A and B are shown apart, each in its own frame.
Chain A
């Protein structure tokens, strides 16, 4: 697809010097009967118009919760945003009344989810579900919404879209269902697309197709994208920058190239080393020892210290601050320099 086919949306009205979307020191906790789980502990990241940020981390690291907080679709209770700001075009979304937040959803920031089968309503045809957004939000007529739904399904390359518009989600293959989700998210031309593990439930070959589609659409429509994933392989070809999350914090933040070349946080280093390599024979696959932390009792100091090969006394006692390494890189590790130098070797 060439850029000429679809006109990219004009550069957004971002205030001078500000970012399109910025999360500032976000704290979210889940208040349950068993206790309080601190799911997000001071996450900050930003997204500029037209770029792709990958948020990487294992299950429970808080990457999806951050995204849902941005969308304002956290289940509350139990979720509770304790503090922080989510600035979109300079406005703090968390300070907006619900009705204004609702207007932002889908229209400014849209989201696609991991398992398209359960994320789509099983009892309505896909065309109806795509068109619903247009009818409800834009006041489109049934016929217009239907026509636009077919266009959107064509856009995400669903074959014979006009014929399949009346089919139900269960009648599609996994990859096609995820395309339906994407078409639905694009209905209102959002400026930001959050893709929450869009390929996790799919076959490897289909994963690549969906990632290519997302990358193409992002470029052609001039959107910005937050790509949430736990799969380092998915990230490399698509993202501009990577934010690595652990225990509800961003532990490392860097552009893709330098992060892959020399990770500056032991956790990122461990993740990269645990990818099987084709060019080294007979190696034992390395893993990160231990388990992800219990969010009800996060370890003192650096939350990664019980699993860290670089652990020292200071790691147990002192919470590491983001260490600025230049080129916009940060790492929340007391020994970030050493780790990076080790990795670069």
Chain B
């Protein structure tokens, strides 16, 4: 197990450099004149141009120059300095403000998926082909079929604007209540997937041979389901939810955009739109690390849940 984690950590280093390199390349490859992009519409004097060229090592051209700038960037990144965005703000500060909002949103979404998705999935799995099962199947199919870009504005319009059950937008420093509707919208997709996964898993495990053994031991039905079947059924579900939490942590561009939530996805989207290279690369670098770590945790969790899995 220890060796497995060590190996994965080493792989993470590679993955980190790989992804940052690609994102860095993509973000800056398209730009014609980075100095003009930095200045926006205003004119740039020769002195300013010379200063900025010096500062960002823009006199180095070609592939060599690109790598020179990339390693320059990574060096400061490893020192914890994400640099400045084109708007002049420290990217670290932006991230510090945005992240807690996204984490809150992610946790609400995950809670929705766990509480409603897993519970309903267990019930649907036990009462397979019943009314509850069939109606949840139709509902989840509907949710899975509607893209967030449609679902989010619909929820906002009906629940936020028309019936005014929730605040339609969140704004700066949003409260828990303001994040509830976006959280539910964001979590609905995970909910639907978690429900179907749980249902299939429970239904399958109910037919397993070990259930027959448990019955022949004269155990009560409640114990067979809640201990024997559930413990086995939840292995894939917990794994899925772990990966999903990693995804949710890295921000939800559409949901945060629609509900005007100043989270990670919201800032990232703004950075892409305004061609704010340093901001995008900085954010993505951190997101990559979060994603890699959460995936590692899921793998470790998987081995804890299922004794048959052993990493050497």
Show the binding face of A for B, using Cβ within 8 Å.
68, 71, 73, 75, 102-107, 110-111, 113, 115, 118-124, 132-133, 136-137, 168, 170, 181, 184-185, 187-188
Contact = CB atoms under 8 A, between A and B. Distances in A.
Interface of B is mostly: helix
A113 B212 contact: yes
A70 to B, nearest CB: 10
B208 A133 contact: no
Contacts of A119: 209-210, 212-213
A193 B231 CA distance: 29
Interface of B: 207-210, 212-220, 223, 228, 231-232, 235, 305-308
A113 B220 CA distance: 20
A136 B232 contact: no
B87 to A, nearest CB: 53
23 contacts: A71-B215, A73-B212, A73-B216, A105-B215, A105-B216, A106-B216, A106-B217, A113-B209, A113-B216, A115-B209, A119-B213, A121-B210, A121-B214, A122-B308, A123-B231, A123-B235, A124-B231, A132-B217, A133-B219, A136-B217, A136-B219, A184-B217, A187-B217
A43 B152 CA distance: 63
Contact of B308 (A107, A113, A168): A168
A174 to B, nearest CB: 15
B218 A106 contact: yes
Contacts of A132: 217, 219
A159 B172 CA distance: 67
A102 B221 CA distance: 10
B218 A102 contact: yes
Nearest to A101: B218
B232 A121 contact: yes
Given A168-B307, A168-B308, A170-B308, A120 B213 contact: yes
Contacts of B307: 122-123, 168, 170
A68 to B, nearest CB: 8
A105 B218 contact: yes
Contacts of B235: 123
Contacts of A170: 307-308
A124 B232 CA distance: 10
A123 B306 contact: yes
A203 B264 CA distance: 60
Q: Which 7 A-B pairs have the closest CB atoms?
A: A105-B218, A106-B218, A118-B209, A121-B210, A168-B307, A73-B215, A111-B216
Nearest to B231: A123
Contacts of A106: 216-218
A96 B207 CA distance: 25
B216 A121 contact: no
A241 B308 CA distance: 41
A186 to B, nearest CB: 12
A29 to B, nearest CB: 19
Contacts of A124: 228, 231
A327 B154 CA distance: 82
B231 A103 contact: no
A184 B215 CA distance: 13
Among B209, B228, B235, max chain A CB count under 10 A is at B209
A115 B208 CA distance: 12
Contacts of A110: 216
Contacts of A184: 213, 217
Given A118-B209, A120-B210, A71 B219 contact: no
B216 A71 contact: yes
B310 to A, nearest CB: 10
A104 B217 CA distance: 9
A168 B310 CA distance: 12
A327 B212 CA distance: 37
Nearest to A118: B209
B301 to A, nearest CB: 14
Given A122-B210, A124-B231, 7 more contacts: A102-B220, A105-B218, A113-B212, A113-B216, A121-B232, A170-B308, A181-B213
Contacts of A123: 231-232, 235, 305-308
Nearest to A133: B217
A115 B235 CA distance: 23
A116 to B, nearest CB: 9
A170 B218 CA distance: 24
Nearest to A110: B216
B160 to A, nearest CB: 44
Contacts of A68: 212
A68 B223 CA distance: 20
A75 B212 CA distance: 9
B61 to A, nearest CB: 60
Contacts of B210: 118-122
B311 to A, nearest CB: 15
A206 B209 CA distance: 22
A133 B218 CA distance: 8
Contacts of B215: 71, 73, 105
A17 B77 CA distance: 89
Contacts of A187: 217
B218 A103 contact: yes
A107 B218 CA distance: 8
A311 to B, nearest CB: 38
A181 B220 CA distance: 19
Nearest to A67: B216
A71 B216 CA distance: 7
Contacts of B213: 113, 119-121, 181, 184
B267 to A, nearest CB: 42
A48 B212 CA distance: 26
Contacts of B219: 102, 132-133, 136
A271 B212 CA distance: 30
A138 to B, nearest CB: 11
A71 to B, nearest CB: 5
A193 to B, nearest CB: 11
A104 B215 CA distance: 11
Contacts of B223: 136
Contacts of A115: 209
